[in-house]
Amino acid sequence: GNSVTQMEGPVTLSEEAFLTINCTYTATGYPSLFWYVQYPGEGLQLLLKATKADDKGSNKGFEATYRKETTSFHLEKGSVQVSDSAVYFCALSSLYSGAGSYQLTFGKGTKLSVIP
Amino acid sequence: GAGVSQSPSNKVTEKGKDVELRCDPISGHTALYWYRQSLGQGLEFLIYFQGNSAPDKSGLPSDRFSAERTGGSVSTLTIQRTQQEDSAVYLCASSLALSRFPGEQFFGPGTRLTVL
């Protein structure tokens, strides 16, 4: 079955530090890959996505590249801000055979705290 | 426009009682998903609706869990004879069935269920 493994948190960084959150996946077929973010007290929001190998998703200074050869989708940001403090979830979606469901399979989440 | 809404936002119930959780998807979204977010298990898929039918119920943890969707819009997740292990945040998500980016789902704020 499908699975997503992401680095355990929590991660604490100083403002303007470089961020990497590792994510690797196992999936049948050709999944789409996502990073979702959950800010304190808010719901899950899509941060970025990539639908095929070598695609780079980017948003709000965050980037992730779909690497099929290493089955990875690591999240990076060059200079984090206090407002980036949140829980980040790596996820994949592949068509569920026969049912048409693009259910998401999530990693366990990585809590990021950025201190001034 | 309006996002996905869920009600109630919080629900506290006693073990053995039945509960109903409601989801209002984004207007026009024909695909609807229920997920559960708990400390021990992370984010887990429960059930998928396409219109009013549920072709993928593979994530429902037991026969105490059921869901329906009416009019291709509002969905209700029902948990009968609640147990303490049912305590979690229940998330609803919706998407366009023919989305260019399969799996791009928009999440509601969730219902936090506490079973005493």
pLDDT score for B80: 98
What's the pLDDT tens digit per position in A15-31?
999 999 999 999 987 88
How large is the C-alpha radius of gyration of chain A?
14
Cβ B107–A44 below 8 Å, yes or no? yes
Question: What Å distances lie between residue A10 and A113, B39, B101, CA to CA?
Answer: 7, 14, 30
What's the pLDDT tens digit per position in B1-21?
589 999 999 999 999 999 999
Of B48, B103, B110, the CB nearest to A43: B110
3-state class of B86 per DSSP? helix
B56 closest CA partner among A115, A103, A80: A103
- Are β-strands A110-115 and A11-14 bridged in parallel, bridged antiparallel, or unpaired? parallel
A-contacting residues in B 8-67 (Cβ below 8 Å): 31, 33, 35, 42-45, 48, 50, 55-56, 58-59
Cβ A51–B56 below 8 Å, yes or no? no
Tokens of A115: 């201190």
What b/e string do you get for A82-94 counting C-beta neighbours within 10 Å, with b at 16 or more? eebbbbbbbbbbb
The alpha carbon of residue A44 is apart from the nearest alpha carbon of chain B, in Å, by 6
pLDDT averaged over every residue in chain A: 92
What is the residue-level pLDDT of chain A in tens, covering all 116 positions? 889 999 888 999 999 999 999 999 999 878 899 999 999 888 899 999 998 899 999 999 999 999 999 999 999 999 999 999 999 999 998 776 556 678 899 999 999 999 99
pLDDT score for B62: 94
Amino acid, res. B93: A
Residues sharing a CB contact under 8 Å with residue A105, sequence separation 6 or more, in sequence order: A2, A3, A4, A27, A91, A92, A93, B45
What's the pLDDT tens digit per position in B42-87?
899 999 998 899 988 989 999 999 999 998 899 999 999 999 999 9
